């Protein structure tokens, strides 16, 4: 039974691997047997991830580049495919957030968020799908939305648009690539204690407010993304395609209302 979760002999490309959920995902994929190619901008933190993977007995490569730069993405994937000989799993986990009132927003910030979150997922998936199709062994593409993907949130228009669009992108790619045995699925995290929301965590009452609306009454621990990622990357999910997997303690499926004490 556990064999179906094994990633022995596979190559996984993981974006956002320098910290947070992407780092946990990379470590989990490596622990399941994959050689992981670690992508983000910060080479030092990527080296830290590689050292942790190797200390656990895994294998990793590092490639630092900016996902918002399409040329770097295309040449980066080509280099990894050349060096490692194959790509079986493409885990698009990197992402950024930005809060701006609509009337104070500018297109530069909107484009930065859309390019990093949405466009990079599209370009990474396109490049990796080409390698997977040429290899003829199928593959797994994982995208990352958010509990906010299908919802709206004040001052979060660019992030919300990108995360909503990632769900649409996932479903369309799943519809197109399924015949190549390439599945495309999305993980929608709830609130996790990572750097992306460090500012929010620092706001008085915010941590408790999220606990209050989450049925499990706590934030996610970054390593709790691992099971979902390995599941979607492995044979255990062989007939799961176009799915959005919420990893959110029940936040997206409930209306939890608490009166102040
Ligand atoms: P995080 O700790 O801030 O990590 C973000 C990762 O993305 C880092 O590895 C960062 O590396 C990388 N990254 C950002 N911009 C990049 C760029 N232009 N090029 C290459 N890499 C880039 O955030 P996280 O919590 O792990 O978030 C991971 C994903 O989960 C994101 O897509 C986020 O939207 C989603 N998510 C998170 C939560 C949560 O509560 N944590 C909730 C819902 C959804 P460098 O800075 O080194 O480039």
143-152: per-residue pLDDT in tens?
A: 999 999 999 9
pLDDT digits (tens, 9 = 90+) for 160-206: 999 999 999 999 999 999 999 999 999 999 999 999 999 999 999 99
pLDDT of residue 4: 98
> Ligand 1 centre from 114 Cα, in Å?
13
pLDDT of residue 256: 85
> Ligand 1 centre from 137 Cα, in Å?
29
Q: Evaluate whether 195 touches 224 at the Cβ level (below 8 Å).
A: no
Hey, which residues are catalytic here? 159
The protein residue whose alpha carbon is closest to atom 10 in ligand 1 is 16
- Tell me the best of 196, 245, 249 to mutate to test the pocket of ligand 1, counting ligand atoms within 8 Å of each CB and taking the most: 196
- Tell me the best of 14, 17, 22 to mutate to test the pocket of ligand 1, counting ligand atoms within 8 Å of each CB and taking the most: 22
| Ligand 1 atom, smallest distance to 68 CA | 18
| Ligand 1 atom, smallest distance to 116 CA | 18
Average pLDDT, stretch 211-218?
A: 96
Which residue segments constitute the domains of the chain, with CATH numbers given?
2-246 (3.40.50.720)
* Ligand 1 pocket at CB < 6 A: 15-16, 18-22, 40-42, 45, 66-68, 93-96, 116, 144, 146-147, 189, 191-192, 194-197
For the full predicted model, state whether its pTM sits above 0.85: yes
Share of the chain above pLDDT 70, in %: 98
- Residue 117, both tokens: 């979150």
Q: Evaluate whether 15 touches 68 at the Cβ level (below 8 Å).
A: no
Average pLDDT, stretch 87-94?
A: 98
pLDDT of residue 261: 55
- pLDDT level of residue 245 (50, 70, 90 thresholds): very high
The protein residue whose alpha carbon is closest to atom 6 in ligand 1 is 16
Residues 6 or more apart whose CB falls under 8 angstroms from that of 60 comprise 26, 30, 35, 36, 37, 38, 49, 50, 53, 54
Q: Which of these, 243, 245, 85, lies nearest to 178 by C-alpha position?
A: 243
Question: What does the alpha-carbon distance between residue 94 and residue 136 come to, in Å, rounded to a whole number?
Answer: 27
Average pLDDT, stretch 5-22?
A: 98
pLDDT of residue 13: 98
- pLDDT level of residue 260 (50, 70, 90 thresholds): low
Q: Evaluate whether 122 touches 68 at the Cβ level (below 8 Å).
A: no
| Average pLDDT taken over every residue of the chain | 97
């Amino acid at each position: 039974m556990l064999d179906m979760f094994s990633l022995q002999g596979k190559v996984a490309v993981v974006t956002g691997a320098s910290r947070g959920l992407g780092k946990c995902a990379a470590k989990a994929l490596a622990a399941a047997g994959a050689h992981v190619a670690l992508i983000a901008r910060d080479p030092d933190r990527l080296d830290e991830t590689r050292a942790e993977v190797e200390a656990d007995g895994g294998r990793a490569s590092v490639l630092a580049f900016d996902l918002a730069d399409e040329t770097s993405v295309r040449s980066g994937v080509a280099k990894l495919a050349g060096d490692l000989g194959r790509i079986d799993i493409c885990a698009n986990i990197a992402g950024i957030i930005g809060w701006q009132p609509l009337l104070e927003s500018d297109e530069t910030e909107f484009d930065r968020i859309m390019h990093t979150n949405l466009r990079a997922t599209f370009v990474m998936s396109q490049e990796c799908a080409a390698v997977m199709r040429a290899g003829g062994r199928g593959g797994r593409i994982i995208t990352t939305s958010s509990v906010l993907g299908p919802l709206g949130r004040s001052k979060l228009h660019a992030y919300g648009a990108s995360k909503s669009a990632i769900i649409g992108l996932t479903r369309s790619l799943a519809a197109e690539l399924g015949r190549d045995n390439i599945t495309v699925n999305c993980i929608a995290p709830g609130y996790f204690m990572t750097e992306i929301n460090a500012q929010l965590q620092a706001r008085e009452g915010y941590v408790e407010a999220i606990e209050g609306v989450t049925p499990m009454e706590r934030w996610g621990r970054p390593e709790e993304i691992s099971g979902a990622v390995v599941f979607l990357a492995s044979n255990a999910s062989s007939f799961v395609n176009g799915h959005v997997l919420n990893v959110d303690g029940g936040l997206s499926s409930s209306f939890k209302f608490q009166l102040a004490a």
